[in-house]
Amino acid sequence: MNLTTTQLLINGDRLNQSIARLAQIGKLDNGGVKRIAYSQEDIEARNLVQQWMREIQMQVRVDAAGNIIGRYPGKYPDAPALATGSHIDTVPCGGHYDGAYGVLAGLEAVRVLQENRLKLDRSLEVIVFTDEEGSMIGSKAISGRIINDSDYYRRPDGTDIQTCLTRVGGSWNNIAQARRSPNELAAFVELHVEQGPVLESMGKQIGVIEGIVGQRRFNITVKGSANHAGTTPMQMRCDALVAAAQVVLAVNQIGNTPGQQVATVGKMKVLPNAANVVPGWVEMSLDLRDLSSLHIDSLLKQLRIHLEEIAVATDTQISLNPCLHNEPALAEPYIQQAIARSCKNLQLNYTYLPSRASHDAQELAQITDMGMIFVPSKMGVSHDASEYTSPEQCIQGANVLLQTLIQLNSEKSLKS
Ligand SMILES: [Zn+2]
């Protein structure tokens, strides 16, 4: 049987049953799921996924970062493997699909190959990454970008990272060993729910991800002078909040210039924050995201000019201090093409779009060729009990994943 031409399809009922079964672990009264990384529920879910992997003769191991790596050996087990996967930890009130869907669709792809007694040339790995919703320690350990400070990974409840990793079969002291070499992995493809409204609003079944946006975060401070709100005449004020209001509008304006960027002021602190005092000092956040670093640079340049003008007009001092800088992680064009071809073969309509949320795939992009597939999220809702992607949509995305992996298996541009 020629795998590149076979229309091998996943078993949709089995996929959706697996999604429903996993969602039982950590189930909340409101229909949501609570499976915080390293919790009892997370451990129970990890055990179930490992059991499922073993049932289809996958080789299962847990690395030092607690990542579960299930391997379905290929005809050439020494060749760099293809990998897929995602996470099964959730936010405190998450849904059934964020992360879990990508893991279970990967598992379903292997189930189909295994029951048809088919092997790819390359081994196929399904990876469950540790703590995606928090530190992303699992995928960062694989890419070799762990911060060498155990306090950084201390949990909000105070538990140290060594204890957490031990619970899931990992080891902080050996975490460097989780790093994968580019020679081991030929490509990584993550299937995920969109967690946004774009696909649904466009009536598209599949999103071919161009990359995961870069993110810059800044603290903006506005220094004016606090003074009596009754006795200080309007023309004699240096009102930091009036300046800050103009800064918010300037940020919104650069967000609305042509392009795919998003720009947000989401947090603000006013001092002294009293009804009878002219505000003397404001601190606020700026979050700016786009697929192109150069474009972000150019938007920041425009914004700085605006801020200078606002400072002069309001007699205040405005400063912009960086506090986070994540470079974009671009998806490889040949993987995007393989996803698009799979959609065409399956007669599914698709569009290209960036991912504006973080995913484990951005870390894998540091060491191998990366691609991502999105399926629609109802009303764009995620990280909530009402998160929903229909069984039909789940099947469509999983078939695209399977077909994409089959195509990549024979892709010539893969490093081998
Ligand atoms: Zn996720």
Q: What is the pLDDT of residues 363-399, one digit of tens each?
A: 999 999 999 999 999 999 999 999 999 999 999 999 9
Cα 373 to ligand 1 centroid, rounded to whole Å: 12
- 303 and 279 in a common domain: yes
Cα 192 to ligand 1 centroid, rounded to whole Å: 7
Domain containing residue 405: 12-212+328-409
Domain-embedded: residue 298: yes
How high is the pLDDT of residue 102?
98
Domain-embedded: residue 414: no
Domain-embedded: residue 19: yes
Cα 390 to ligand 1 centroid, rounded to whole Å: 17
Last residue of a domain, one of 285, 302, 326: 326
Domain-embedded: residue 299: yes
The CATH number of whichever domain residue 105 belongs to comes to 3.40.630.10
Which residues of the chain fall below pLDDT 70? Answer: 1-6, 412-416
How high is the pLDDT of residue 414?
55
Q: SS3 sequence, the chain?
A: CCCCCCCCCCCHHHHHHHHHHHCCCCECCCCCECCCCCCHHHHHHHHHHHHHHHHCCCEEEECCCCCEEEEECCCCCCCCEEEEEECCCCCCCECCCCCHHHHHHHHHHHHHHHHCCCCCCCCEEEEECCCCCCCCHHHHHHHCCCCCCHHHHCCCCCCCHHHHHHHCCCCHHHHHHHCCCCCCEEEEEEEEECCCCHHHHHCCCEEEEEEECEEEEEEEEEECECEECCCCCHHHCECHHHHHHHHHHHHHHHHCCCCCCEEECCCEEEECCCCCEECCEEEEEEEEEECCHHHHHHHHHHHHHHHHHHHHHHCCEEEEEEEEEECCEECCHHHHHHHHHHHHHCCCCEEEEEECCCCHHHHHCCCCEEEEEEECCHHHCCCCCCCCCCHHHHHHHHHHHHHHHHHHHCCCCCCC
- 298 and 338 in a common domain: no
- 219 and 71 in a common domain: no
Cα 100 to ligand 1 centroid, rounded to whole Å: 8
- 287 and 162 in a common domain: no
The pLDDT tens digits of the residues spanning 193-222 come to 999 999 999 999 999 999 999 999 999 999
Cα 18 to ligand 1 centroid, rounded to whole Å: 17
Cα 360 to ligand 1 centroid, rounded to whole Å: 8
- 332 and 306 in a common domain: no
- 23 and 166 in a common domain: yes
Cα 379 to ligand 1 centroid, rounded to whole Å: 17
Domain-embedded: residue 275: yes
What pTM value is reported for the model? 0.91
Cα 58 to ligand 1 centroid, rounded to whole Å: 24
Cα 81 to ligand 1 centroid, rounded to whole Å: 23
Last residue of a domain, one of 326, 357, 373: 326
Quote the number of domains for the chain: 2
How high is the pLDDT of residue 399?
98
- 382 and 311 in a common domain: no
